[in-house]
Structure 1
Amino acid sequence: MSFFFGSKKQKPLEPVSSSAASPGAPLELVRYSTATGKFEVPNEALEVLRSINGPVGVVSVCGRARQGKSFILNQLLGQSTGFTVGPTHRPCTKGLWMWSTPVEQRAPDGSKYHLVLLDTEGIDAYDQTGQYSTQIFSLAVLLSSLFVYNQMGGIDEAALDRLSLVTEMTKHIRVRAGSAGGSSEDELSNFTPSFMWLLRDFYLTLEEEGRTITPKEYLETALQPIRGQGRSVEAKNAIRESIKALFPNRDCFALKRPMSDENQLSRLETVPPSQLRPEFREGLERLTKLIFARAQPKRLGPQIISGPMLAGLASAYVEAINNGAVPTISTAWQGVAEAESRRAADAAEQAYRDAFNRDISADEGQLDAEHARALAVAQSVFNDKAVGEDSVRVANAKRFHERCQRDFEAFRKERLASGELECQKLINAAQAHLTQVTILQGAAWMLLTSAPDWAAKRNGLYRPIKFCWAKCNADSSYTIAALVRSFIRSAQSSQCL
């Protein structure tokens, strides 16, 4: 498990574009079945994730119900009607929803990755239990590379109390199996995403001791421990410490109120941009750019996560919750690594078959050389795709090597047998040719020696004999009748007959 402890410091990534509308539709990634009392990961969402080749990042927006989480995600999509935004008190989003078309991003080195956007159910919806809220919150954190916590107003004690889910989350997640209770915040911080606290309808002036401060400084001040004694103070400070420990890479962004008309606020997605306050429009543009810049490919330690890996992690975490167990990151990763290494072995085997030249001649040396060349191509494919510990990689490498060897041995046996058959055909044809030539030569000699006055005319017959002899040697299909006709014509032209 040594890979779990890589550095979390990475360069920010820049968006390819954040203005063009993204095609697609919302898909349920995690839903709760009231019939079974269990979470489900629909196949449609899994298939979308599995189709994403290469690195994948995840931005999730979480917070209280009915406070505009979906609106923010739609801005990232460059449209107003992507994720559902509703005007009533009833929550629109249940479980976790993802956009079906990932947003293509580009890293500073020019490499591409795909960004998945997640909309989460409000963590305090009226029809939720405390455990359910913690589970939804935990799943969003575990799957994200950037976790945006959306709330109205400033950071006060009530706002911090609502994030007590962070403290509860540490009791419901383990880094590795066998640890009693949950894992420590410091240990979990190796796997938690970057954190952004988004303050909506923010009206406060950010000043401290007469100087202007940044939203991040405002956040850090709010997270300082409060003075006092007693269980209440200890609980408040525990929340602060949990937030700081779990999210060492954190930021804050303050967004002004978009307009004063309450009726229009409830239908913000339908309001023309020209009717929004200029400071809100400017802030919204800066926010989308900041989110895209802070988003990164999802990692577990130094391992960059791909779409199929993300699908495997989502399924593993949900399965653990459904079984009444604590989601264990290392256990989930081991299952994903094993599945990905099996996929890598299958891809390598196919690469071997595609690379192997089946028109190679039936020569032992050439066959062995072609096998080695195709196997090197397959090994390169496996190395690019396989993940996990050495034991997992070695076992699956052995599996595809054995399959390739079996394929090669079967082909070699078939090819050599085919070569032997071709050789035998050539030998038989040569033997038939020699037999025919011998017969024709004998017939020519008999024809010659039977000619009248053979001794006297032998000098004159030499030329047609030579001509017919050449015919016999050159063409095994030359028949005796043809030989006779040819001999007579040649001899007559020489006036020997």
Structure 2
Amino acid sequence: MAPASDACIGAPLALVTWEPDTGKFEFGPGLDALKVATGQDNVPLAVVAVTGLPRTGKSSLLNQLVRELLGLELPPEHGFKTGHTTEACTQGLDMWWPPLPVRLPQAGMDSDGSVAATGAVSRAAAGRPTHRLLLLDVEGTSAARMCKSRSVRVMALTALLSSLFVYNSMNVIDEDAVERLGLVGEVVRRVREHAGAHTGGLGKHAPTFVWVLRDAHLQPAVINGREETPTEYMERQLAPLSRKGANGTHGADPDGDGGGNGGAGDDPRTALRALFPHANECRMLPQPLADGGRLRAGAGPGSLGATDLAPAFREGVRELATLIAARARPKSWGGGQAPGATPTAGSACEGGGGCAAATPVTGPVLAALLEAYVGAINSGAVPVIADAWEATLRRECDRACTAAEEAYEAAWVEGPEPQDTQELRQRHEACLAAARKEFEAIAVGPASLKHQFEQQWRAVVQSRYNERLAVLLGRQAEAARRQAEEAQREAAQARREMEKAQERAAAALRQAEAAAAQAAAAQQQAAAAQREAAEARELAAEARQAVAQAQRQADVAIAEAAKSRQQAEAERERAEAVRRQAEELRRREIDARQAMADAAMRAEEAQQQCVAYEKARRAEQFRAEEAARCAEAERQQAAAAQRCAEEARQQAAAEAKQREEAAWRARHAEQQRQAAEAERQLADEASRQAAAEKKGAEAERDRARGAALITAMAAALTLLLKLRG
């Protein structure tokens, strides 16, 4: 084997310790390790417990089994604590953590679990991983200074937890060993599977039993010409005695449940068969070394290397490891056996029918069961497997509900906040998928129980979704209200702008009217200018006639030119003035025509502006009407959203009321159960008192009979003396 580091092989952890001052069990760090087991550690666990008398090599054997199952060499100082003195090392229950992986070999193993080929199971690479082995090192029982109550409690807790129960003793199976192991028979009377209707002991939850005989050196017996196997030897030694055995004890229990009448003289063999009803095995191991001197010097088998051990011992440990890996299966609850387990009487697999889905023991489930069993044992009550399993399954399902709710909230905070109901619904579905995955990873138990708790966490997350939906609808309603207000403000602004446009159009009309008036005035001025021009033309014609007349007069009066030169010059100046007046009249006519053209252009522009203002007014009026319609639609949508939010709030309130009623019913049921338990305890106390009173009455009756007998004898003696006298 190759050496291994501490990180890859694991180490022992204290699971349960015994507190001498209080006389009760206390939990060690191993319980927390089981609770937080996740990933590859949170798989079905097959609990293998090694128990027996103190100082018989239980811890050393476990170290050798760890070495074989891992296929690695343990460091000398690593493993379960061992010692070479008479003082016991293990107190309570220690476990090897993490659990050891198991691979079921596909070949080399008979159907009954016997080894057909040597080699550690952990090296069977062709197999497939199924579960893990949790090895328990149990303190020695029936020690000289250990009270019987403590031994019974340790043995009861070990039998309840283990899937495979290994009893380690020395050399041979003698009557003392059977009587010591008969202590387990007390467990049958103390532990019941169901209250009331079912009284079958541990039933299908009983562990498989393997008896390991250490330092065996005797040859097997020959019976009917054949050497018997160690298992046959064990079966012969544990066969029930006759009804009246050689030692005077009663044998088989007529009820078959190992309980008998509860008397001290009951045959422990019957109790053992009731406690371990499955196919059991016996294995013999020789001495670890051919010479035990080194062991007595202080080096126990757990601290020796593989090469330091005797070959026969190494081979025996290897076969025992293979047997344990093949036979140890996780316990289960709820209809069927764990995969690969042999169907037992009363299980759902019996009779060839299909097995119902079962709940195997994982780390958290085992931790919850351990808490339930230790709590019952510490309080002096009788552990009820059905109640413990039911409480465990409910606790794990409740933890799964909490984890699902946390996963839902953790998935919700990832990503932006949804802005509409469709995004909100999609986010809700994605968060539900994450919560469902987390719930399925933790929840255990039958489908009906898981469905019940699934409905519970679904109701919680649905309530949270409804609250978020109500908040979103409220925000949408508020946004719609703000949009409606904004639309109303825009409509008012549009109305104001339309009024301004109308005012501008009226001003434009007034300007157009003024321009038209100006144009009319210009036309009048143009008509006046035309009249003045006509008058100017008439004056010009008259002037031309006057010029012609003057020329004629000049021609006529050339002779008189000299005489009338001054008159002619005057006439010429008057003609020049008339000409200038005519030119001025022509310019005024041109200006009047230009003013008429400008007035006509301004009138046309005013008319076009009036048309444009009229179109703008109509467009503004249409937009205002459209905005009013949109505002009305938004108002109706906001009212519908408010109604939806109110319905969601009412639904959330109804769901909250239903949750309160369910919690009240659960509390009421718990109070009724506690009351019933108190009445049962009062009834048991009354029964015990009645039995005590009956015994007292019988004692009083016996004393009265003795007194009467003494009185009669005295009277007879007195009469005899009188007769003789």
1:199 and 2:210 are equivalent in the alignment:
no
CA drift at 1:71: 1.1
Residue equivalent to 1:170: 188
Which one has the largest radius of gyration?
A: 2
Work out whether 1:114 is the aligned partner of 2:132.
yes
Kindly tell me: are residues 431 and 354 of structure 1, through their superposed partners in 2, closer, same or farther at Cα, counting changes over 3 Å? same
1:104 counterpart (101, 122, 125): 101
Cα distance, 1:227–1:38 mapped onto 2, change above 3 Å:
closer
Give the secondary-structure state (helix, strand or coil) at the position aligned to 2:190: coil
Q: In the alignment, does 2:204 pair up with 1:190?
A: yes
| Paired position in structure 2 for 1:277 | 310
1:19 and 1:155 map into 2 onto residues whose CA distance is 37
How far 1:309 sits from its partner (Å)? Answer: 1.7
Q: Distance in 2 between matches of 1:169 and 1:86?
A: 30
* Aligned 1:222-241 pairs, distance under 5 A: 222-226=237-241, 229-230=244-245, 232=247, 234=249, 238-241=267-270
Q: Once the 2 structures are TM-superposed, how far is the Cα of residue 75 of structure 1 from its aligned partner? A: 2.2
Contact 1:18 1:76 in 2 (8 A): no
Q: Deviations over 1:128-153 (max 9, x none)?
A: 01221111111111001111111121
CA distance in 2 between counterparts of 1:411 and 1:163 reads 63
The CA deviation string for residues 368-423 of structure 1, in whole angstroms up to 9 with x for no partner, is 67656755664565466444578865653443233123211210011112223444
2:204 counterpart SS class: coil
CA–CA distance in 2 between the matches of 1:236 and 1:89? 36
2:467 to 399, 404, 410: 410
CA distance in 1 between partners of 2:143 and 2:369 (Å): 26
Structure 1 window deviating more from structure 2 (326-335 vs 269-278): it is 269-278
Structure 1 position 25, deviation (Å): 3.4
Contact residue 18 and residue 288 of structure 1 kept, 8 A = no
Give the letter for the 2:318 counterpart.
E
| Larger deviation, residues 85-94 vs 365-374 | 365-374
Q: Which residue of 2 is the match for residue 141 of structure 1?
A: 159
Which residue of structure 1 aligns with residue 665 of structure 2?
none
1:226-274: per-residue Cα shift (whole Å, max 9, x none)?
5683473645762222222321231122212121333312423333432
Corresponding residue SS for 2:189: coil
What pairs with 1:28-39 in structure 2 (closer than 5 Å)?
28-39=14-25
1:316 is matched by which residue type in structure 2?
A
**Partner residue in 2 for 1:320:** 376
Moved more, 428-437 or 164-173: 428-437
Cα distance in 2 for partners of 1:430, 1:90 equals: 92
Shift of 1:290: 2.3
Q: Distance in 2 between matches of 1:394 and 1:272?
A: 52
One-letter amino acid of the structure 1 residue matched with residue 457 of structure 2 = F
Letter in 2 for 1:88: T
- Which runs of structure 2 are paired with 1:297-446 in the superposition (5 Å)? 297-300=330-333, 302=336, 303-354=359-410, 359-363=417-421, 367=424, 371=428, 374-375=431-432, 378=435, 382=439, 385-388=442-445, 393=450, 396-424=453-481
SS in 2 for 1:343: helix
Q: Distance in 1 between matches of 2:305 and 2:134?
A: 27
Alignment equivalent of 1:40, drawn from 22, 26, 37: 26
- Is 1:25 the counterpart of 2:29? The answer is no
Give the Cα separation in 2 of the matches to 1:90 and 1:70.
13
Deviation at 1:345, TM superposition (A): 1.9
Structure 1 window deviating more from structure 2 (432-441 vs 382-391): it is: 432-441
* 8 Å Cα contact 1:57/1:116 also seen in 2: yes
TM (normalized to structure 2)? 0.54
- What SS is found at the alignment partner of 1:259? coil
Secondary structure of the 2:383 match is coil
Is this contact kept in 2: 1:161–1:236, CA < 8 A? no
| Closer/same/farther in 2, CA of residues 110 and 457 from structure 1, 3 Å limit | farther
The answer (yes or no) to whether the contact 2:101–2:129 under 8 Å persists in 1 is no
The answer to whether the 8 Å contact 2:245/2:251 transfers is no
1:23-63 per-position Cα deviation (integer Å, ceiling 9, x unaligned): 44332222221222222223x22211111234222111101
* Structure 1 CA distance for aligned equivalents of residues 406 and 103 of structure 2: 30
What code does the residue aligned with 2:268 have? Answer: I
Identity %: 36
Aligned counterpart in structure 2 of residue 71 of structure 1, from 51, 54, 60:
60
**Secondary structure at 1:149's aligned position in 2?**
strand
Q: Is the 8 A contact 1:32 1:38 kept in 2?
A: yes
Give the secondary-structure state (helix, strand or coil) at the position aligned to 2:269: helix
Structure 1 residues 126 and 420: alpha-carbon distance in aligned structure 2, compared to 1, 3 A threshold: same
| Residue equivalent to 2:553 | none
Q: Which stretch of structure 1 is more off in the superposition, 450-459 or 145-154?
A: 450-459
CA distance in 2, matches of 1:59, 1:110: 20
Rounded Cα–Cα distance in structure 1 between residues aligned with 2:496 and 2:92: 92
2:294 aligns with: 264
Tell me what 1:59 maps to: 48
| Distance change (3 Å), C-alpha of 1:168 and 1:82 | same
State which drifts further: 388-397 or 26-35: 388-397
Change (3 A) 1:350 1:110: farther
Distance 1:344 1:440, change over 3 A: same
Structure 1 contact 344–382 (Cα < 8 Å) conserved: yes
- Alpha-carbon separation, structure 2, partners of 1:249 and 1:418: 69
- Secondary structure class of the residue paired with 2:367: helix
> Number of residues paired by the alignment?
445
Q: How many Å apart are 1:191 and its aligned residue?
A: 1.3
State the alpha-carbon separation in 2 of the partners of residues 163 and 292 from structure 1: 24
Distance 1:388 1:18 in 2: 41
In 2, Cα distance between equivalents of 1:378 and 1:240: 52
- State the 1:92 CA deviation: 0.5
Alpha-carbon distance in 2 for matches of 1:279, 1:27: 30
Give the AA of the match of 1:408: Y
C-alpha displacement of 1:331: 2.2
Q: Give the letter for the 2:420 counterpart.
A: A
Partner of 1:488: none
C-alpha spacing 1:422/1:220, structure 2 compared with 1 (3 Å): same
Q: 2:90 aligns with which of 90, 93, 117?
A: 93
TM-score (norm 1): 0.76
Q: 1:390 to 1:297 in 2, by over 3 A?
A: closer
1:486 aligned residue: none
- How many Å apart are 1:287 and its aligned residue? 2.0
- Structure 2 partner of 1:494: none
Query: Contact between 1:309 and 1:336, CA under 8 Å: does it hold in 2?
Result: yes
> What do the CA deviations read for 1:288-325 (whole angstroms, capped 9, x no partner)?
23222322223246331221221121111111122121
**For residue 487 of structure 1, what is the aligned residue in structure 2?**
none
How far apart, in 2, do the equivalents of 1:211 and 1:107 lie? 32
SS in 2 for 1:198: strand
Say if 1:30 and 1:270 are closer, same or farther in 2 by CA, change over 3 A: closer
Contiguous gaps of at least 5 residues in structure 2: 68-73, 106-126, 253-266, 337-358, 513-597, 614-619, 621-725
Deviations 1:193-244 (A, max 9, x none): 1111112112133353343443323322322335683473645762222222
8 Å contact from structure 2 (residues 49, 165) kept in 1: yes
| Shift in alpha-carbon separation, 1:20–1:61, aligned structure 2, 3 A | farther
Where does residue 13 of structure 1 map in the other structure? Answer: none
Contact persistence 1:94–1:120 (CA under 8 A):
yes
- Higher relative contact order, chain-length normalized (CA < 8 Å, sep 6+): 1
Comparing both structures, which one devotes a greater share of its residues to helix? 2
